[in-house]
Amino acid sequence: MAGRIIQVEERVPLLKGIPLSIQHTFAMFSASVLVPWLFGINAAIVLLMNGIGTLIFIVITKGKSPAYLGSSFAFISPTLLLISNPDFGYPYALGGFVVTGLIFCAVAILIKFAGTKWIDTVLPPAAMGPVVALIGLELAGTAAQNGGLVPSETYTGINPLFVVVFVVTIAVAVLGQVLFRGFAAAISILIAIVSGYLVAFFAGLVDFSGVMQAGLFAWPNFVFPRFSPEAIFIIIPASLVVISEHIGHQVVTSEIVGRDLLKDPGLHRTLFSDGVSTVLSGCFGSVPTTTYGENIGVMAITKVFSVRVIGGAAVFSILLAFFAPASALINSIPAPVMGGISFLLYGMIGASGIRLMVDRKVNYAKGRNLAMTALVFVVGLSGVYIRIGNVKLTGMCLATLTGIFLGGLFYVIDRLGIANDTDEPDHG
C-alpha cells in the first residue's frame, strides 16, 4: 500500500484499515487530552462526542470529505474565564457551546447563498491573525505555572523535579518537530506526553490510585448545559475564529486529496456538520469541535484519504470513551507534563496567528491594517475589560469584538468613499 494513494471513497481491507484508523486516533489524542485536562472534566465524554461528531460529519457530507472532528482550542480562554467565575461554571460554558453550534449551522446556510467573502469584512485578516495568536499567548502564563516554572496558588516555590519533567517533555516535543519522520512526526506531541509521563513516574510524581481503582468499563460523565445571556456572550466571539479555521482546513484538505471540497460536498455541508457536532457536544458535557490539522497532516504523510479510515478512527475514539483505565490514565498525567506540552502548543497557536497574516499577505503599509492588528493585540494582552452584568469581557473575547467593530467601521468608511488608502491593495 506504501506509495499508492487511497482515495476518499475507496474501501480499505479490514486488516489494513484498523492500524490506519488507530493512527488517526492517536494523532488527535494529545490535543483532545489537553482540553478536558484544562477544564477539569472527564476525558471520556470528549473522546465519545468527538467520535460521534466525526461520524455525523461523514453522514452529512455523504462521505465525500475526509475530516476528523476534535476539540477546539479557540474556546479555551473564554471557557476558563467562566469556570473561574463563581457565578457560573462549566455548565454555563456548555450553554454557550450549544449556541455556538447553532451559529455554525446558521453561517453554513448563509455561506450556501452568500459565499464567504463577507467573513473578511466581519473579521479581516489583520484582526483574525492576532485573535488566533491571542488564543495561545494569553494562556502562556497558565502553561508556565503548570510546568512549575513560576509560583502559583498550589505551590509557592519552584520544584526542581517539576522543572526536569517539564524540560524533558518540551525537549522531546521540539526535537520531534525537527527530527521525527513519517507517522512519528504526526504524533510527536503524543510521544512527548508519553516521554514526560515516564520521567514523572520515575520521579514519583504520578498518582496511580485512580487507575488502580478504575474498573474495566465505565459510562462517560455526562454534564448538561445551563444557559445565561452573559455566559453565551463570552463564548460566541470564538465561533468566528473556528469558522475561519474550518474554511482554511477545507482548502488545505482539498489540495491534499486533489478535489474541490468547497464545492462537493460543499463548505455549507462541512460547516453545518461541525455545527451539529458542537450542539450535541454542548448538550452532553463535551467541548466544541473543529476539523483537526493533525489528522490532515496524517493524510498528507500516508496518502490515505479514505473516509472509512476516518470513520474507523471515530469508532476507536468511542470505544476508548467506555474503557475506564484510559480516562483514569489521562487524569493521572502530572501538571508539569501537560505544562510542557501546552507551553509549546500555545506558542504554536500564537505562531499560527502570525502565519495567517503572512499567508493572507496583509499589507501593513496600509494604516488601517497596522492600527487594527495593534489594537487587537493590545486589547487582548493589556488586561482591559468591559463588565456586562456579572460577566467581565477581557482577553481574546474582547479582542475579537474589537476586531469585529473595527472591521465594520472600516467597511462603512469604504462605502462612504472617504478612506485615504482606497488606491492601495489590501494584500501586497
SS (H, E, C) 194-207: HHHHHHHHHCCCCC
pLDDT computed for residue 287 by the predictor = 92
Q: Which residues does 333 contact at the CB level (< 8 Å), separation at least 6?
A: 33, 37, 193, 197
Asked whether the beta carbons of 131 and 77 are under 8 A apart, the reply is no
Q: Give mean pLDDT, residues 165-176.
A: 90
How many Cα atoms within 13 Å fall on the side-chain side of residue 410?
24
Q: Coil, strand, or helix at residue 194?
A: helix
State yes or no: pLDDT of 105 exceeds 90.
Answer: yes
State yes or no: pLDDT of 221 exceeds 70.
Answer: yes
Helix (H) or strand (E) holding 71: strand 69-71
State yes or no: pLDDT of 156 exceeds 80.
Answer: no
Kindly indicate the confidence band of residue 109, based on its pLDDT and cuts at 50, 70 and 90. Answer: very high
Q: Which residues does 84 contact at the CB level (< 8 Å), separation at least 6?
A: none
Instruction: Find the largest Cα–Cα distance for the chain.
Output: 69
Dist. CA 56–CA 279, nearest whole Å? 12
Query: Minimum mean pLDDT among 147-151, 274-278, 346-350, 424-428: which range?
Result: 424-428
Q: Give mean pLDDT, residues 133-145.
A: 81
Kindly indicate the confidence band of residue 58, based on its pLDDT and cuts at 50, 70 and 90. Answer: very high
Read off the C-alpha cell for 151. Answer: 509560583
pLDDT computed for residue 338 by the predictor = 82
pLDDT computed for residue 186 by the predictor = 65
Q: Give mean pLDDT, residues 161-171.
A: 90
Provide the 8-state DSSP code for 362: B
Dist. CA 246–CA 226, nearest whole Å? 27
State yes or no: pLDDT of 240 exceeds 90.
Answer: no
What global pTM score does this model have? 0.79
State yes or no: pLDDT of 415 exceeds 60.
Answer: yes
State yes or no: pLDDT of 336 exceeds 80.
Answer: yes
Kindly indicate the confidence band of residue 227, based on its pLDDT and cuts at 50, 70 and 90. Answer: very high
Dist. CA 396–CA 415, nearest whole Å? 28
Question: Which residue has cell 484519504?
Answer: 305
How many Cα atoms within 13 Å fall on the side-chain side of residue 392?
13
pLDDT computed for residue 291 by the predictor = 83
pLDDT computed for residue 1 by the predictor = 42
Query: Minimum mean pLDDT among 118-132, 142-156, 338-352: which range?
Result: 142-156
Amino acid identity of residue 63, one-letter, is: G
State yes or no: pLDDT of 183 exceeds 80.
Answer: no
State yes or no: pLDDT of 29 exceeds 90.
Answer: no
Kindly indicate the confidence band of residue 428, based on its pLDDT and cuts at 50, 70 and 90. Answer: very low
Dist. CA 414–CA 422, nearest whole Å? 8
Q: Give mean pLDDT, residues 370-380.
A: 93
For the chain, give the mean pLDDT: 84
